[in-house]
């Protein structure tokens, strides 16, 4: 079992890699999480580096494509730090990104708190706490040179591969009456176009959101009104490079975009 000092050292190492754009093969053996719980304990220390309130949460590996991409068999939760979130239409430096992919995601903004508790939250209760639906783009990354061999505990410690997140405007559409599982989402990057559906996200983005709420509840972590939860990629991740413009078309739910400049 890792000590508090070892958890802090592991988190500090991953944070330095994130800020410097560097990678490591894996955490040193003495600092390496053996369980998902230890991974989350390391991840939690990253939040202290943010000067603003926690923006929200993300879920990695909610689709078969996402799980294959990082070689895990179940979802992982990560924190969205406010300093790494931008509005649709932003122009961002590509910087050093090792994964080099973009993902299209349904994101939900909460209208009320969902505190941890001993019983599982049901989908209807979770959706009753949602205030808005947004189209979103995630551009993940990892601090591990080969993230396909890191394993779930280390990837959780690595903030579930969080990096840059772009949030679209809340949809004005009556989205609650729409079957999100069957809703079509398209990503365009240059000549590349990829299509997916909400069902690629744990069968339905609503199910993914409920998974996240219960995962955090088990860890004793609350979700707060105003926080945004991004539910994972609906498409096979699309390759990106400096100079690209990434466009997400969510149909009646709106569009979201980002331009990646050199530098």
All domains of the chain in start order, with CATH = 53-261 (3.90.850.10)
Q: For residue 63, what pLDDT band results from cuts at 50, 70 and 90? A: confident
What would the pLDDT profile of 7-18 be if each residue is shown by its tens digit? 999 999 999 999
Q: For residue 228, what pLDDT band results from cuts at 50, 70 and 90? A: very high
Give pTM, 2 decimals: 0.95
- The pair of structure tokens assigned to 8 is 């802090």
What would the pLDDT profile of 179-220 be if each residue is shown by its tens digit? 999 999 999 999 999 999 999 999 999 999 999 999 999 999
């Amino acid at each position: 079992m890792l000590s508090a000092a070892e958890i802090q050292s592991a988190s500090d190492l991953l944070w330095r890699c994130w800020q410097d754009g560097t990678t490591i093969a894996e955490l040193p053996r003495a600092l390496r999480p053996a369980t998902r719980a230890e991974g989350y304990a390391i991840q939690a220390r990253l939040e202290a580096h943010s000067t603003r309130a926690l923006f929200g949460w993300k879920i990695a590996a909610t689709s078969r494509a996402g799980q294959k991409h990082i070689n895990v068999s179940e979802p992982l939760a990560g924190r969205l730090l406010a300093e790494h979130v931008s509005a649709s239409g932003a122009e961002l430096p590509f910087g050093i990104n090792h994964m080099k992919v973009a993902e299209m995601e349904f994101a939900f903004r909460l209208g009320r708190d969902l505190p941890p508790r001993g019983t599982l939250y049901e989908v209807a209760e979770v959706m009753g706490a949602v205030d808005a639906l947004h189209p979103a783009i995630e551009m993940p990354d990892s601090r591990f040179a080969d993230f396909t061999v890191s394993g779930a505990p280390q990837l959780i410690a690595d903030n579930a591969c969080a990096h840059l997140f772009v949030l679209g405007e809340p949809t004005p559409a009556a989205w609650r009456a729409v079957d999100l599982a069957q809703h079509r989402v398209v990503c365009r990057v240059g000549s590349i176009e990829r299509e997916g559906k909400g069902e690629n996200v744990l069968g339905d983005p609503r199910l993914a959101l409920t998974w996240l709420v219960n995962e955090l509840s088990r860890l004793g972590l609350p979700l707060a009104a105003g926080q945004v939860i991004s539910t994972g990629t609906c498409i096979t991740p699309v390759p990106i490079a400096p100079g690209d413009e990434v466009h997400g078309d969510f149909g009646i739910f709106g569009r979201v975009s980002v331009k990646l400049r050199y530098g």
